[in-house]
Amino acid sequence: MVSRRGLLAGLGSAALVFGFDPVSRRWIAVAEAAPFDHIPSLDGSIVTDPASLAPYATDSGSMVHNTPIAVLIPGSVRDIQKMVKFCRHHCIKVAVRGQGHTTFGQSTAEGGLVIDMATINEIHSITASRVDIDAGATWKQLVTTAVPLGASCPVLTGYINLSIGGTLAVGGISPNNRRGAQVDHVHELWVVTGEGELERCSKHKKRDLFEGVLAGLGQCGIVVRAVMDMIPAPTSARTFLLNYVDNAMFFDDLRTLLDREEFDGLYMIGAPDGGGGWVRQINAIKYHNGAPPDPNVILRDLNLPPEAATIQDTTYLDQVLAVDVIIDFFKSIGLWHGVLHPWYDAFLPEDEVEDFVGDTLAGMTPEDVGPTGFLLLFPLLASQFTRPLFRVPRHSRYVYLFDILTAAPAPGPNPEFEAQMLARNRDLYDQAVLLGGTRYPIGSVEFNKQDWRRHYGSAWDDFKRAKRKYDPDTILGPGPGIF
């Protein structure tokens, strides 16, 4: 974090600008003698040179390329307020970027301003039950600070080097099956609105803004600080891995384990089996403080015997960092940055998920995931989702997030592969909708405004009202194309 901040600060000083020319819609540098509107004085910096802008034109998907005209490296929340007001005055779109981990341009702004939140990263306080933290901090930063103090988060994504604000903008899904999403554990937010005003909001104060930004894809405001739940951290984890090639047997055992409610995390990883089929691997996690569970007890009466399980014993912290280690490895060997990641992510109702997953895998080949891709399936207790903009199937005890985390075989453009995967994603999305499914909007599905209206359903009118109230000039969050 420090090295990144230092680098960007250096770029800022090399690309110093004095103002913005509203006629040519470009930034004016020191040596120019054109008329311009002065940018406000900032604690941080603005970068405008092409080399600095290039990384902000795309995200982890490497498919959408929307080049901004500037990037703000804020030195304070005041900088964010000032630049949002400036952009509103000049009709400049504003996107917010945490770690850029979405895959279809959600954090981009063609011809606009991107705010890099990485420098707004202070942890203000941690107690046994609460954390007060800036939105640019990462969950990894929070966890590695909190666990030595005996605390952790009730809901953590598999990959945790993601910003607090970024996951709160989409939802934040966990292997834990019974605690909802990260947005369900927020008590209070500090938000910069589309008018540049700093507002504090909660369930009891400015609730329309609170609910408009949680899973709101950055449409109603920029989260800059959050107060959230914390829980005691266990010391250790035991993970049981069970491999299945038969779809029905896999779902039968998964439901058995779900119904018992004895595990702290339960999900599937899928990959090609090398023979034209797919391995469905149950990952069953049990946290403990020194007394690991007996496999003969906790894996009783399954289709596979307990001795079929591979057992992994780790510290709690190593377990929650396991996916980060894998992603860091992919990055180190050049198979992450610049690689196309046309991900498919959808929630499915309990009654439909078994057939949908089985039919989908039957029609897929190893190229549908690629050499570094894989499948995920998270069963999640629907009653724990409380935020109106977090859209999941209704009338189902459990909903299942099904992810096809596709990766191209090598970095660089691949138009044919991209078009094929985007067509696949749209087709699978349309099938899921007919079954009562919904989209988890981190992935890559081509959506128009009517699709978004259908996606938000009964929450649409309230969402639209909040957008008009808190972003009346529609400058925030252009990437998804919702409004």
The predicted-structure confidence for 219-266, as pLDDT tens digits, reads as follows 999 999 999 999 999 999 999 999 999 999 999 999 999 999 999 999
The percent of residues above 90 in pLDDT, for the chain, comes to: 92
Note the CATH number of domain 2-118.
3.30.43.10
The CATH architecture to which 123-232+461-465 belongs is 2-Layer Sandwich (3.30)
Hunting for tokens 């914390």 — which residue is that?
A: 230
Q: What is the pLDDT of residues 268-278, one digit of tens each?
A: 999 999 999 99
Nearest to 174 by CA among 158, 185, 159: 158
Q: CA angle, corner 439, sides to 246 and 372, nearest 5?
A: 55
Give per-residue burial for 341-371: e unless 16+ CB within 10 Å, then b.
Answer: bbbbbbbbbbebbbebbbebbeebeeebbbe
Q: What is the pLDDT of residue 8?
A: 38
Q: What is the number of residues in the chain?
A: 483
Q: Is the pLDDT of residue 197 over 90?
A: yes
| pLDDT tens digits, one per residue of 413-466 | 999 999 999 999 999 999 999 999 999 999 999 999 999 999 999 999 999 999
pLDDT at 33 exceeding the cut of 80 = no
Residue 68 corresponds to which tokens in the numbers above? 């901004």
Phi/psi at 263 (5° precision): -105, 155
Same CATH topology for 2-118 and 123-232+461-465? no
Q: Taking a C-beta distance cutoff of 8 angstroms, is the pair 88, 195 a contact?
A: yes
- Give the bridge partners for 238, in sequence order: 286, 313
Which amino acid appears at position 8 of this protein? L
Q: How far is CA 100 from CA 105, 129, 166, 365, 410, in A?
A: 9, 29, 8, 28, 20
Q: Given pLDDT bands bounded at 50, 70 and 90, which one contains residue 2?
A: very low
Q: What angle do CA 160, 161, 167 make, to 5 degrees?
A: 70
Span 159-170, mean pLDDT? 98
Q: Where are the domains of the chain?
A: 2-118, 123-232+461-465, 236-447
pLDDT band at 30 (very low <50, low <70, confident <90, very high): low
Q: What is the mean pLDDT of residues 280-292?
A: 97
Q: Quick one: DSSP state of residue 271?
A: E
- Mind listing the pLDDT tens digit for each residue in 325-338? 999 999 999 999 99
Alpha carbon distance 433, 121 (integer Å)? 38
Residue 260 tokens read as 């018992």
Chain segment 118-146, per-residue pLDDT in tens: 999 999 999 999 999 999 999 999 999 99
Q: What mean pLDDT is predicted for residues 82-95?
A: 97
User: What is the distance between the alpha carbons of residues 47 and 70, in angstroms, rounded to a whole number?
Assistant: 6
CB of 426 within 8 A of CB of 446?
yes
**pLDDT for residue 97 is more than 90:** yes
What is the distance, to the nearest Å, from the Cα of residue 57 to the centroid of all Cα atoms in its chain?
18
- Taking the alpha carbons at both ends of the chain, their separation in whole angstroms is 33
Q: Which residues, in sequence order, are CB contacts of 302 under 8 Å at separation 6+?
A: 242, 253, 256, 257
Q: 23 pLDDT band (50/70/90 cuts)?
A: confident
| pLDDT band at residue 29 under the 50/70/90 scheme | low
Q: Is the dihedral of CA 129, 134, 137, 138 positive or negative?
A: positive
* Residue 24's pLDDT band (cuts 50, 70, 90): confident
pLDDT at 366 > cutoff 50 = yes
pLDDT at 37: 79
Residue 9's pLDDT band, with cuts at 50, 70 and 90, is: very low
Sheet containing strand 45-47, strands side by side: 45-47, 70-73, 113-116, 94-97
Predicted local distance difference test score (pLDDT) of residue 213: 98
Domain 236-447 has CATH 3.40.462.10: yes
Lowest mean pLDDT of 1-5, 91-95, 294-298, 373-377, name the range.
Answer: 1-5
